[in-house]
Structures are given as structure tokens and as C-alpha cells.
């Protein structure tokens, strides 16, 4: 700028563009000066260590071909064909399952560190399985060292909330028809007093036994008669019907019922049993959650272990810890304390009753549904809080931390734009934008159950640690 | 403005606000002058006769208490409790039905003026009813004068598209539990070759006979076992699930199936028959249309005949004419030629194949659903054309011509705002905004069927004529 221009500049009214601290802009505005505030944070929130890592990452990225690796991961997610192929039991089907093993949601956790709802569900699970004869005994058995606790995720499995899976429990069996990998999930127990929220007791046990004796066999025979179900197609439809596949599953449950009912009535079973199964599904809009979860799990598992890829392949929590895994570092967990959920509470409960964030259901977000598709489900805010505008904002923001747009899952109100798909941990670190997650809330004590639902910000630390590990691996 | 200010004015750059004809603004813009175009039309489009009527209306309105009358009409609409109470036949239930009577959609029309699809459906209906032994003979019978043709609307009935109802046809029976009035509608035949789109032939007849022998009796027994169904509740839910209750009914059909399936399996009927009924509903997302229509009909009928009210109580068409009725003038029809639909066509068809606008389904718009709730159903644009933004614009505009916001039907994406409810013919005349209607498109020739779906602007004349009649009545 030459001197003449500088003189010109000072003749003009002052207009400022302010980056960062908003108080500078406020001061200018108070003096009657036009000031535009730009929402800007330095990369990694000004953390010099992370800023240094980001510099290293820029070099590594080119060396190891992260762009191509992430493109490949996203393509694998988009090409996934999650298909419901069978109803079986954990013992029969889940690889590595043992009679004295209990699978749980989230990353590895020992009995002494388990959250209230997880403990409650373990206690219930041990009694259900006959590994303890009373709830009191179950606590001792759980602490005895005779029980092997492992994450669902170590066994191609996902579990909502506490996510407890024992040997005899019925499971949905999924296959990703594009890549051949399988996934598993228990059947949804409904609302109210249920094991997954840490409740136990006679009512809970009776329902679990009925699910084993009636629900699962009828579902299996129905599925055998109907044939495999392309769950990607159904998931695509539910996003056009106000569901997001995580905490709103009314359309999914409806479509599943209407798909199977014509076959279910054909079974050689007492009609009272069939009617009870249809009613059970009808009265529980979350029935579909235990289908959208393993569908997501078998999609994302195919994208694990890609050298150089920063795509997140697991997010999960157990009420104690939140944890993620990223593609390039395979089975390594990046763990931080689970955060509290900001939500709406059932009558009689408050945030003082809440356990920290829990469950594997956040697997849905890794494939572009759930919180990432909230714009498709504005009515969900009645369940998790916020406004329909928030729902659209959540989805829109998620495009900034994802690799691609889904080729099948579309959001009508965003002009059928594909959902933000393939979460990139590097983009999370760069932008400081955390994944949008909506979730149920369990009571913090064992034996009680659901107390609400809401929105949760996962702990930043997991994502930073994963990113550091990525940089370290390739440095 | 004093002289000094005028001088000031001419020193400034010229900025113009242009009302009305856009070409003035365009000319200014071409000269580099800032011009803001305001979308403005003089009341009644500048029609001096109507402008005069509007003046008279302003006086009448106060004299006859139109504000209170319309408030009352809107309250009746909001308080309506449409309830599915029975499955019967037209002959058994519809008041005034006769064996040699054929009900049709839209306002009264004689055989010689009937549209192609209406004729096709009449021909099919006569053969179905045994009033003619061949389709050739049916044409003669129809023209003979022995058949009484009357509008569905003269018999508390509504019919989609051609809307043909004959003596033996099964009908849904609705009661408005708040006001005691009833309404009737045939059961939906599905897509493809169907009577309502003017198709006939063996396939059409076989399905109609199956509906009479199997579908309706099974639905009746199921409903008897289940008990009455509060259809307002279901309609409220479908608006949260991407339906608008007129041309998108995927959620409605799903909710209806899941509600009834647990009861249907309990019937003492061969399971093959039950399975076929469940499959028939599952394969036809419009099954719910024939429930949303009579639900709307029994809501709006309670608001008819209110002295001083300008609320529209009927909109309908028969492929020849479009017609409306307003509350204050009771059973009087205001008729104009039906318009063409702007839509998407099925493969192999173009607008040259289309019949003009047809059917009673536009009854849904009179109670705040259908086109008036399109913002709740952005995915509908894949069926009727346009963009999701258009869908929101349609709904938003309709608030300008309606009396109130619905107390039960809400639109999530508009922050759960109640749908625009109670169409006021005076507001239509004042603003020039016509009701938003989406619809199916029938082939113009008898015997063919559906060719597409789209959006239609009803003829302005009906609304002007109704308004004139209102002013004349009270002058």
C-alpha cells in the first residue's frame, strides 16, 4: 500500500473485522465503529503441542497418503450392505463367546470401575444366565474373577446402554454383503425396567426369558420365511420419515413390523404368541435401535485397519469411559472419562440421578446416521431436547468433520443431501468441532433404569489422543 | 417535505422501491439504479368488481359477525375427533344410497360431461355391481338415464380420484366423536390398474371382488377386536414422520398396520387370507389415504352451515369441474372448469395423457393437512415434483389464507407450529393466494389409470363466485 492509499484509508470510516476474542469487537461497537465478528479459534484451540502435531500431520499426510486412505475408508462405508441374515444366540454365533463371559458396551473396564447401570446389568445378566442364584450372590460372582468381562466391540458386537450380552441371549446376526464381515446385537427389550439401563428384578428377568423362549424363535422363523433383509434400504427410508436411526426409531420399527407381519402370521405357532410378539414390537419404538446398531457396526468394521486413514471406526462408552478407535491404528483404544448428558428427564428424575454417557449405540454416528442425521428427524427434539433448528445445525456442522456425504442416506430438508459420513479425527482436532451425539440417560445406581434422554459432547481428549497416536505411528 | 429536503433528495443516489409490474424495476436496474421489487398485487388482482365486493364485505363482516363465525368454524375443526368406528358397505351404511345409484367425486356432473377417468370408473363400477354384463353394455346403461349419479359429498362420503362408490362396495365408517356426524369412504385399491384412476378390466374387477370378500370382512373383524381408532392421533403422528396425509401416506399406512396386526392375527380366519391382507396393505403406501380422507370429511362437515362464516367446507373435483362450498351458504356449489396438474409422469406418459384435476382427496386440505402440511413432508417432492424448499413455502403461504393454526397437527421443521387450518375464502379473494394442492394424475381416457402426480392451482373463479354469493346473501 503506497502513501497515497494509506492517506485514503484514514479518511474513511473505520470498519473492523475481528477474529477471535469477541470483546475486541464489542468495544469497537460500543464506540460506534462497525465491527464484524468472525467466529475463529486457532487450530487445536491454541494448544501449542497440538498445533505442532498438526504441522507434523501435514507432512505425514502426504507421506502415508491419508487423503487416499480416507477416501478408501469412506468408499467402504458408502458401499457397505448391512443385511439381517439370522436370529441366533450369543453362545452359538458370537466369535470367542464363552459361558462365563459377559460382554459390555464401551471400551474395556474392570468390575471395580464399572458404572452403576453396567453393574446393575451385569448382576441381572449373571442371574439370567444361572451363573448366580440371587442378585446378592451375583455381586460376589462378578467380583470373584471367575467372570471374563470383555467389550462387545472385541467380538463384532454392539450393545445399547450397558450393552450386556451373555451366552444364552438371542442376537440379531448381520452380514455386510459387500465385504463379508458379520456383526451381532441383542434384541431390544422395550422401555421401562430393562437390563440395558441397569435394571434387574423379576420383571426384567421374566421379559428376558420370554425374549429367549418366544420372541427370538418367532423372529427367526419369520426371517427364515421372509428371507434376508437389506437394512441399508430400510435405513435410507427411515431418514425420509423423521427418524435418525439412533434415538428416534418410530419409522424404523414401523417399517420392520409391516415388512415381517405378512410372514409372521404364516408360522405354525399359537396365534396368541404371534400376537404378543407383534404387540411387543408395536409398543416399543426403540425396537429398531438394536437393528440400526449392528447394521452400522458391520458397515464400519469393514473400514478398520486401513494404513494412513484417520477415519473413526468406533465410538463407544460404558458409563465410566468414552473411547474411540481410528482406522490406521486398528484395535487401539483412545479413552477418556465419559461426560454427562444434557437432556430431558422423565418425571421424578433430575440430572443428579444420571449416570455418565453410556452404550455402543453411538456406532450409528460413525456411519452417518444418529446425531449426524438429526436434520432428518426434527421431532427428535421432543425426546432429547433442543429445537428443530438445532437439529439442522448439528447435521450441518458435522459436514466439517467428515470425509464424504453418504450415497444412500439422504436428508430431505437439506435438499436430499447425503448425510455427513466418515468422521475424520484429524478434522476434529483441526476444527475443534466434536461429533454430535444424542443418547438415552441411565440412572447412576444399579437396578433402576432409564431416567431421560439428551445430547452429549464427547470428551475432546479421546480425539486428541487418537490423533497423537496417529502422528506418533508415522513419525 | 419542504424545499430544502427536496433539494437534499435530488443530491442523493436514486433508490427506488417498485410495487407491482416488475418491468419498471428491471428498467431501473438496467440503468444502474438500485431498485427493490415488492411483490404486490392490488386486492382482487385489480378487478374493480371484486374490489367493490371487498368494500361491501368489510361492512357485511361486522354486521353478520364473520370474525366470530369463522372463529367458531375454526374451533369446530380443531375440536373434531375423527374416529374409525366400523367397516361396512355403501348399501348398508351410506345415507340415501340406492342400488342403481353411483356416487362420484367432485360436484354434480352428468354422464355426457364426465371426464375419461370418471367414465372408466363408472363403466367398471356398473359391471362390478352386476348392473351391466359387459363394459360395452355398461356405457349404454350409464347413458340410459336408469342410473342415478350423485356426488359423494351429497352423502357424507368422499372418494379419491374418480371416487366411484356403488351399493356393494365396502366402506370405512367414521364418526366425529365431538359432534356426532359420520363420514364414509371406500377402501384403497392400491396402485397400478385401479378403478379410481378410471381403469377397468378383469384385473381391476378381481381385486374389487377380493376387497369385498376378504379384505373388508377381515378389516371389520379386526376393528371389532381392536376397538375404535382415534384417527386424529394417528394423523398428528404422521406429520412428525414425513407424511402430509394426502399424497404421502407411508407413515400413516405403517402406523395403521402396526396398530392392527396384533389383533388381525387373532382372527379365526385362514392365515393365508390374513397374510394376504397384511401384504396388500404393506405393498400400498396409499392405503392410508382412504382413512385420512373420511377423517378430514367428518371433521369439516361439522363446520358447515354457520351463518356469516366464509370458511371453505368442501373442495373437490371430478376431472371436469373443480368446486367448493363455504360454511355460510351450506350446500351451494361454486363451480369452475378443473385445471391441469403440473407434475411428474410415470415412464411412458406425458402431460398430453393427463386428465384435468380429479377427486375428493382435496378434502384433506380443508382441515390443515395435505398441501397445507407439505412442510412436514419434504420427501413428497420426489412424488409430486418441486423442491423441499417449495414444500415449506407452500405451507408458509397458506397461513395467509387460513383462520387459525391447528391445535393438534404440527410441523416439526417449523418449530412445531400448528398447520394452517380453516381456509377463508375472503382471504383468498383479498390476497389472490390460492390453496396449495398436491394430487395424483389420471389418464384422460377411460380404462387406463394413473399416469403421474403433481401440484395443481385450483381455478380462481370458484373462490370469487363463492365470495360473490356470500356478499349477495348478506347485502
* Neighbour order of strands in the sheet with B450-456: B342-345, B450-456, B437-442
One domain for residues A91 and A29:
no
- Judge whether A236 is closer than 8 Å to chain B, CB to CB: no
Average pLDDT, stretch B54-83?
Answer: 97
Residue B417 belongs to what H/E stretch?
strand B417-423
- Strand A342-345 and strand A450-456: the pairing is antiparallel
- Considering its fold, how many domains does chain A have in total? 3
One domain for residues B72 and B32:
no
In the DSSP assignment, the letter for residue B166 is: -
- Provide the shortest C-alpha distance from residue B159 to chain A (in Å): 26
Closest CB from B265, B381, B388 relative to A275 = B265
Give the model's confidence band at B9: pLDDT under 50 very low, under 70 low, under 90 confident, else very high: low
Q: Do A261 and B282 touch (CB under 8 A)?
A: yes
Domain boundary at A255, A279, A295, which? A295
Q: Do A416 and B279 touch (CB under 8 A)?
A: no
Region class of A416: left (phi > 0), else alpha (psi between -120 and 50), else beta: left
Closest CB from B242, B266, B415 relative to A241 = B242
Residue with cell 460372582: A141
Per the CB < 8 A criterion, the answer to whether A282 and A272 are in contact is no
Neighbouring C-beta atoms of residue A226, cutoff 10 Å: 15
Residue with cell 471400551: A107
Q: Residue B318: its pLDDT value, please?
A: 97
Please provide residue B153's backbone torsions phi and psi, each rounded to the nearest 5 degrees.
-60, -20
Q: Which of B262, B270, B282, B392 to mutate to test the interface with A (most CBs of A within 10 A)?
A: B262
Domain boundary at B295, B314, B332, which? B295
One domain for residues A323 and A385:
yes
One domain for residues B97 and B130:
yes
- Provide the shortest C-alpha distance from residue A215 to chain B (in Å): 14
Closest CA to A342 of A467, A186, A216, A453: A453
Neighbouring C-beta atoms of residue A20, cutoff 10 Å: 14
Burial class (CB in 10 A: 0-12, 13-18, 19+), A307: middle
Closest CA to A369 of A425, A424, A428, A289: A289
Length of chain B: 475
| Chain A neighbors of B414, CB-CB under 8 A | 388
CA angle B91, B97, B99 (to 5 degrees): 70
Distance, in Å, from the CA atom of A3 to the CA atom of A14, rounded to the nearest integer, reads 18
One domain for residues B362 and B246:
no
Beta bridge partners of B440: B453
Distance, in Å, from the CA atom of A388 to the CA atom of A391, rounded to the nearest integer, reads 5
One domain for residues B259 and B330:
no
Residue with cell 361396512: B88
Give the model's confidence band at B5: pLDDT under 50 very low, under 70 low, under 90 confident, else very high: low
Sequence-separated (6 or more) residues with CB below 8 Å from residue B81: B176, B177, B178, B230, B232
One domain for residues B393 and B414:
yes
Closest CB from A266, A279, A388 relative to B415 = A388
Residues 272-311 of A with CB under 8 A from B: 272, 274-276, 278-279, 281-282
Q: Do A378 and B413 touch (CB under 8 A)?
A: yes
ipTM field: 0.90
- Judge whether A269 is closer than 8 Å to chain B, CB to CB: no
- Provide the shortest C-alpha distance from residue A247 to chain B (in Å): 14
CA angle B305, B308, B311 (to 5 degrees): 65
Closest CA to B295 of B359, B398, B367, B190: B367
One domain for residues B70 and B95:
no
pLDDT at B1 over 50: no
Q: Which of A222, A240, A387, A393 to mutate to test the interface with B (most CBs of B within 10 A)?
A: A240
Residues 125-154 of A with CB under 8 A from B: none
Residue with cell 450409528: A364
Residue with cell 486428541: A464
Q: Do B265 and A278 touch (CB under 8 A)?
A: yes
Q: Mean pLDDT for chain B?
A: 93
Closest CB from A278, A378, A379 relative to B261 = A278
The better pLDDT of the pair B448, B427 is held by B427
Kindly state the cell numbers that stand for B83: 374416529
Per the CB < 8 A criterion, the answer to whether B105 and B118 are in contact is yes
- Provide the shortest C-alpha distance from residue A230 to chain B (in Å): 16
Residue with cell 373420511: B294
Q: Which CATH number fits the domain that encloses residue B398?
A: 3.90.1700.10
Distance, in Å, from the CA atom of A7 to the CA atom of B394, rounded to the nearest integer, reads 53
The better pLDDT of the pair A11, B108 is held by B108
- 3-class SS letters over chain A: CCHHHHHHHHHCCCEEEEECCHHHHHHHHHCCCEEEEECCCCHHHHCHHHHHHHHHHHHHHHHHCHHHHHHHHHHHHHHCCEEEEEEEEHHHHCCCCCCCEEEECCCCCCHHHCCHHHHHHHHHHHHHCCCCCCHHHHHHHHHCCCCEEEEHHHHCECCCCCCCECCCCEEEEEEECCCCCEEEEECCCCCCCCHHHCCCCHHHHHHHHHHHHHHHHHHHHHHHHHCCEEHHHHHHHHCCCCCCCCCCCHHHHHHHHHHHHHHHCCCCCCHHHHHHHHHHHHCCHHHHHHHHHHHHHHHHHCCCCCCCCCEEEEEEEECCEEEEEEHHHCCCCEEEECCCCEEEECCCCCHHHECCCEECHHHHHHHCCHHHHHHHCHHHHHHHCCCHHHHHHHHHHHHHHEEEEEEEEEEHHHCCEEEEEEEEHHHHHHHCCCCCEEEEEEECCCCCCEEEEEEECCCHHHHHHHHHHHHHHHC
Residue B89 belongs to what H/E stretch?
strand B82-89
Per the CB < 8 A criterion, the answer to whether B62 and B299 are in contact is no
One domain for residues A417 and A343:
yes
Predicted TM-score (pTM) of the model is 0.91
Average pLDDT, stretch B62-68?
Answer: 98
Domain containing residue B203: 82-295
pLDDT for B396-434, tens place per residue?
999 999 999 999 999 999 999 999 999 999 999 999 999
In the DSSP assignment, the letter for residue B356 is: P
| Chain A neighbors of B264, CB-CB under 8 A | 265
Closest CA to B322 of B350, B361, B292: B361
**Distance from chain centroid for Cα A323:** 11
In the DSSP assignment, the letter for residue B369 is: -
Beta strands in B95-225 (DSSP E): 101-104, 148-151, 170-176, 182-186
One domain for residues A62 and A127:
no
Per the CB < 8 A criterion, the answer to whether B411 and B299 are in contact is no
One digit per residue, the tens of pLDDT, for chain A of length 475 reads 455 566 666 666 666 677 666 777 777 777 777 776 666 666 666 778 888 999 999 999 999 999 999 999 999 999 999 999 999 999 999 999 999 999 999 999 999 999 999 999 999 999 999 999 999 999 999 999 999 999 999 999 999 999 999 999 999 999 999 999 999 999 999 988 899 999 999 999 999 999 999 999 999 999 999 999 999 999 999 999 999 999 999 999 999 999 999 999 999 999 999 999 999 999 999 999 999 999 999 999 999 999 999 999 999 999 999 999 999 999 999 999 999 999 899 999 999 999 999 999 999 999 999 999 999 999 998 888 889 999 999 999 999 999 999 999 999 999 999 999 999 999 999 999 999 998 999 999 988 888 999 999 999 999 999 999 999 999 9
Neighbouring C-beta atoms of residue A311, cutoff 10 Å: 31
Q: Residue A34: its pLDDT value, please?
A: 72
- Provide the shortest C-alpha distance from residue A260 to chain B (in Å): 9
Per the CB < 8 A criterion, the answer to whether A174 and A183 are in contact is yes
Q: Which CATH number fits the domain that encloses residue B96?
A: 3.90.1710.10
Closest CB from A241, A258, A278 relative to B241 = A241
Kindly state the cell numbers that stand for B218: 377381515
Please provide residue B34's backbone torsions phi and psi, each rounded to the nearest 5 degrees.
-65, 125
**pLDDT > 70: what percent of chain B?**
93
- Strand A148-151 and strand A101-104: the pairing is parallel
Q: Do B413 and A413 touch (CB under 8 A)?
A: yes
Please provide residue B199's backbone torsions phi and psi, each rounded to the nearest 5 degrees.
-85, 150
| Chain B neighbors of A279, CB-CB under 8 A | 262
Domain boundary at A279, A295, A311, which? A295
Q: Which of B283, B379, B410 to mutate to test the interface with A (most CBs of A within 10 A)?
A: B379
Q: Residue A1: its pLDDT value, please?
A: 44
One domain for residues A135 and A283:
yes
Closest CA to B227 of B184, B263, B180, B182: B263
Q: Do A279 and B266 touch (CB under 8 A)?
A: no
* Neighbour order of strands in the sheet with B170-176: B182-186, B170-176, B82-89, B229-230
One domain for residues A153 and A288:
yes
pLDDT for B176-234, tens place per residue?
999 999 999 999 999 888 999 999 999 999 999 999 999 999 999 999 999 999 999 99
Instruction: Give the residue ranges of DSSP H helices in B32-134.
Output: 48-64, 66-79, 90-93, 116-128
Amino acid at each position: 500500500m503506497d502513501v497515497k492509499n494509506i492517506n485514503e484509508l484514514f479518511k474513511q470510516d473505520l470498519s473492523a473485522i475481528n477474529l477471535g476474542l469477541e470483546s475486541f469487537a464489542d468495544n469497537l461497537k460500543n464506540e460506534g465503529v462497525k465491527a464484524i465478528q468472525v467466529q475463529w479459534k486457532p487450530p487445536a484451540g491454541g494448544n501449542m503441542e497440538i498445533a505442532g502435531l498438526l504441522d507434523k500431520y501435514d507432512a505425514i499426510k502426504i507421506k502415508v497418503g491419508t487423503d487416499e486412505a480416507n477416501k478408501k475408508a469412506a468408499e467402504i462405508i458408502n458401499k457397505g450392505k448391512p443385511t439381517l441374515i439370522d436370529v441366533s444366540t450369543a453362545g452359538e454365533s458370537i466369535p470367542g463367546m464363552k459361558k462365563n463371559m459377559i460382554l459390555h458396551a464401551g471400551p474395556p473396564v474392570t468390575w471395580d470401575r464399572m458404572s452403576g447401570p453396567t453393574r446393575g446389568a451385569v448382576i441381572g445378566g449373571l442371574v439370567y444366565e444361572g451363573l448366580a442364584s440371587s442378585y446378592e450372590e451375583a455381586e460376589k460372582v462378578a467380583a470373584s474373577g471367575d467372570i471374563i468381562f470383555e467389550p462387545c466391540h472385541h467380538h463384532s458386537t454392539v450393545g445399547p446402554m450397558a450393552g450386556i450380552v451373555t451366552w444364552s441371549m438371542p442376537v440379531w446376526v448381520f452380514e455386510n454383503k459387500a465385504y463379508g464381515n458379520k456383526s451381532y446385537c441383542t434384541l431390544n427389550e422395550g422401555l421401562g425396567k430393562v437390563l440395558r439401563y441397569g435394571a434387574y428384578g423379576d420383571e426384567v428377568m421374566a421379559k428376558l426369558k420370554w425374549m429367549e423362549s418366544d420372541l427370538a424363535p418367532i423372529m427367526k422363523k419369520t426371517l427364515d420365511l421372509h428371507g434376508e433383509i437389506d437394512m441399508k434400504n430400510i435405513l435410507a427410508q427411515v431418514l425420509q420419515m423423521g427418524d435418525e436411526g439412533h434415538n428416534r426409531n418410530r419409522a424404523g420399527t414401523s417399517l420392520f413390523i409391516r415388512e415381517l407381519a405378512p410372514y409372521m402370521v404364516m408360522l405354525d405357532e399359537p396365534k396368541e404368541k404371534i400376537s404378543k410378539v407383534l404387540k411387543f414390537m408395536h409398543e416399543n419404538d426403540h425396537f429398531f435401535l438394536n437393528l440400526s446398531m449392528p447394521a452400522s457396526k458391520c458397515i464400519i468394521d469393514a473400514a478398520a485397519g486401513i494404513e494412513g486413514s484417520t477415519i473413526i471406526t468406533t465410538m463407544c462408552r460404558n458409563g465410566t469411559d468414552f473411547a474411540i478407535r481410528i482406522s490406521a491404528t486398528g484395535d487401539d483404544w483412545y479413552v477418556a472419562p465419559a461426560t454427562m448428558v444434557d437432556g430431558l428427564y422423565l418425571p421424578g428424575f433430575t440430572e443428579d440421578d444420571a449416570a455418565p454417557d453410556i452404550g455402543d449405540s453411538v456406532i450409528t454416528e460413525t456411519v452417518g446416521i444418529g446425531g449426524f442425521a438429526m436434520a432428518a428427524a426434527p421431532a427428535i427434539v421432543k425426546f432429547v431436547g433442543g429445537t428443530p433448528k438445532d437439529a439442522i445445525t448439528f447435521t450441518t456442522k458435522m459436514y466439517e468433520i467428515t470425509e464424504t456425504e453418504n450415497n444412500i442416506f439422504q436428508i430431505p430438508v437439506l435438499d436430499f443431501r447425503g448425510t455427513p459420513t466418515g468422521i475424520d479425527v484429524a478434522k476434529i482436532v483441526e476444527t475443534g468441532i466434536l461429533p454430535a451425539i444424542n443418547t438415552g440417560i441411565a440412572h447412576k445406581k444399579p437396578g433402576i433404569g432409564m431416567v431421560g434422554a439428551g445430547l452429549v459432547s464427547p470428551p475432546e481428549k479421546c480425539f486428541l489422543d487418537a490423533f497423537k497416536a496417529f502422528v506418533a505411528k508415522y513419525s
